[in-house]
Amino acid sequence: MPVQSERQNNFFNVCKDCKDSCCRNARPPINSKRKKIIETYLKKHKIPIKNPFVQASYVFLREDAEGYCIFYDKTTMKCLVHPVKPETCVAGPVTFDINMPHQKIGWFLKKEKICALAGMLYKNEGNLEKHLTSAKKEILNLLHGLNSEDLSAILKIEEPETFKIDEDKIDDNVANKLNIKRKQSCKTSSVSLEKRI
Ligand code: SF4
């Protein structure tokens, strides 16, 4: 299993001052491989959180009454499963969408007005490139482990206040999963590659 430093830089110094929290109303998707990794981590570290997964239109992490992820520690403001957290948590503030007619996966960055980390990354080309490379790897790992139904449900989630920074052709694994649902699940994007922070 990759160690924390191989999955994501430590951005806590930027994120700790944020007025909002990405860990609220986040509902990060979980594929079967990540589910097992998190379960093993909880057991090994004796973290007493039962039934952390919700099976709805796709599998995601349970939330508390205030909408915070069940793994968010409100005292430390840190993630209880940081080394093994879900792929979208590592990839943030990079998000994705799939344009089925064009067989492309688009990579989006949150606008600085809603994410200080995004602004910090955008202003440093080297940091953004490094993080985008890592985010793409994480998201593709997530997608490859999802079933068609979960993937189709996830693609219906809107990601407002983002702008497109890159796109790639989708690989066969993802294309095959979406093939049977191509007509009803496609969500196109008209976002351009221009700066929109
Ligand atoms: S898994 Fe961790 S980083 Fe992801 S939403 Fe939950 S608390 Fe936040």
Would you state the pLDDT for residue 6?
64
| Last residue of one domain, picked from the residues 84, 110, 131 | 84
Residue nearest ligand 1's atom 7 by CA = 72
Mark whether 100 and 177 lie in a shared domain: yes
Same domain, 76 and 94: no
Task: Say if residue 158 is in the same domain as residue 103.
Answer: yes
| Same-domain pairing of 56 and 96 | no
**Residue at a domain's end among 32, 57, 84:** 84
What is the block-wise mean pLDDT of the chain (197 residues), using blocks of 10 residues?
60 82 94 98 97 98 97 94 96 95 95 93 93 97 96 94 96 87 46 38
* pLDDT at res. 154: 97
Residues 6 or more apart whose CB falls under 8 angstroms from that of 111 comprise 118, 161, 162, 163, 196, 197
Is the whole-model pTM more than 0.75?
A: yes
Residue 41 lies in a domain: yes
Is 7 a member of any domain? no
Q: Is residue 4 part of a domain?
A: no
Let me know whether 177 and 111 are in one domain. yes
Q: Is residue 196 part of a domain?
A: no
Task: Tell me the sheet residues that pair with 102.
Answer: none
Query: Is 10 domain-assigned?
Result: no
Provide the pLDDT for residue 32.
Answer: 97
Among the candidates 36, 57, 84, a domain finishes at: 84
Domain that holds residue 107: 90-185
**Most ligand 1 atoms within 8 A of CB, residue of 20, 81, 115 to mutate:** 81
Quickly list H helices, 17-145. Answer: 32-44, 87-91, 116-122, 125-145
Confidence at residue 186, expressed as pLDDT on a 0 to 100 scale = 46
Place of tokens 């491989």: 33
What total of structural domains would you count in the chain?
2
Residues 96 and 181 in one domain: yes
State if residue 96 touches ligand 1 by the CB under 6 angstroms criterion: no
Q: Does 101 share its domain with 164? A: yes
Verify that 96 and 77 share a domain, yes or no.
no
| C-beta of 28 in contact with ligand 1 (< 6 A) | yes
Q: Is residue 43 part of a domain?
A: yes
Residues 31 and 16: their CA atoms lie apart, in Å, by 28
